[in-house]
Amino acid sequence: MPTSKIIGIKGTGVYYPNKKVKVETLVREFDVENLKIIKDHGINEIHTSNPRETEFFMAKQAVLDSLKNSNLTPDKIDLMIYCRGLKKRVSPRNFSSRIIKEIDADNAYGFDIDSGFLGGLIGIHVGNEILANSFYLKNALVVASQEFDEMYLFGSGSRINQMIFGDGAASVILTRDTKNNKILESNFIIDHYTNFIDELIQDELKDKSFFNKLFNLEFLSRVKKIYGVNLISTLTQRWVDNSCKVIKSSLDSLNLDIKDINHVIKSQLSLRETACLARKLDISPERIYNSSYEKGHLGHADILSNLHIAMEKTKFKNLDIIVVLASNYDCSSGAVIIRR
């Protein structure tokens, strides 16, 4: 396909709440005894929203920031895709249509999607496909916003129990009219099997009597026989394996190889996961970018936020091959390949 016909990223934008909270403070507030989660993620502080900074408010601010950074006015947007957050509260109206009305993007139509932690990446994929196959559409805007909802996830303290979640929003503008940041390919792997049962049962074994342990081991072996996997397995390895599969699949379609990768921009599920990925891709950890350490995980908005920060702070060279990578907590993974 001629380069002129490939869709590219024109600009990005973000919004982070002003309030910053130290993770140590959250540990005391929620009386979380296990500090291992903090060590696993290397996060010291996060941004948290106030009652005024709703999911919609943050999304709108990120949209305005991306328009400013792209030197575009709202009337130049033809398509708006809103990636819904992990929320228990459901809005009766699509956020995309609300944002279109609020910013006077009179020429745009829009829709919302729900895709978990992969939301931002799937938004880029869908927007790219629509622009590439629509002669009259020129600019698409993808936005995601995360206002953490305690009750939706795991109950009180869950902001730091399973993952260290922060609040914020990020936006990306895709266009036909750009010379750089061309989207070459995208692909996804859906994997709904996780190994949570391993950890749950192993925890049960710690304080059980000998006979109860025998019973639980027998139960565990039956489960493992059904699923055909090893007794000791980790989510980390599955995240990394699926990430490598989706990257390789995307590169294969472009006649490229893992060695052709210059940089990786990713959402981080743990420090160990990122380090393991660097070893498997044989790429220097310094060329893997994410902002989790200073923002926390922003759910479905996380990958768009990391993309914004990496493109703003890093001097990528022309023709660099950049992999934008995200993983869901159920081990599903997605990758978008960009040529600088």
Give percent above pLDDT 90 in the chain. Answer: 39
DSSP one-letter code for 317:
P
Chain-centroid distance, C-alpha 59: 16
pLDDT surpasses 90 at 251: yes
pLDDT tens-place string over residues 118-169: 889 999 999 999 999 988 899 999 999 988 765 444 444 445 555 678 889 9
Contact (CB, 8 A) for 303 and 116:
no
Helix (H) / strand (E) element for 339: namely strand 333-339
Contact (CB, 8 A) for 305 and 291:
yes
DSSP one-letter code for 155:
S
pLDDT tens-place string over residues 219-237: 444 444 444 333 334 567 7
pLDDT surpasses 60 at 218: no
pLDDT at 230: 38
**More reliable by pLDDT, 280 or 315:** 280
Average pLDDT for the chain: 79
pLDDT at 234: 59
Rg (CA), the chain: 21
User: Phi and psi at residue 55, in whole multiples of 5°?
Assistant: -55, -45
pLDDT at 239: 79
In sequence order, the 6+-apart residues with CB closer than 8 A to the CB of 129 are: none
C-alpha 310/C-alpha 53 separation (Å) is 25
pLDDT tens-place string over residues 164-207: 788 899 999 999 888 889 999 999 987 665 554 455 455 545 55
pLDDT tens-place string over residues 70-112: 999 999 999 999 998 665 555 556 889 999 999 999 999 999 9
CA dihedral sign, ordered 72, 74, 75, 80: positive
Structure tokens given for 170: 């990020």
Crossing angle (nearest 10°) for helices 196-206 and 210-227: 170
pLDDT at 152: 42
At the top level of CATH, the class of 3-178 is alpha beta
* C-alpha distance from residue 138 to each of 83, 101, 103, 122, 194 (Å): 20, 19, 18, 19, 40
Q: Is 22 helix (H, G, I), strand (E, B) or coil?
A: strand
C-alpha 128/C-alpha 176 separation (Å) is 10
> Which CATH superfamily groups domain 184-192+233-339?
Thiolase/Chalcone synthase (3.40.47.10)
Domains 3-178 and 184-192+233-339 are alike in CATH topology:
yes
Q: What residue segments make up the domains of the chain, in order of their start?
A: 3-178, 184-192+233-339, 196-227
User: Phi and psi at residue 187, in whole multiples of 5°?
Assistant: -160, 160
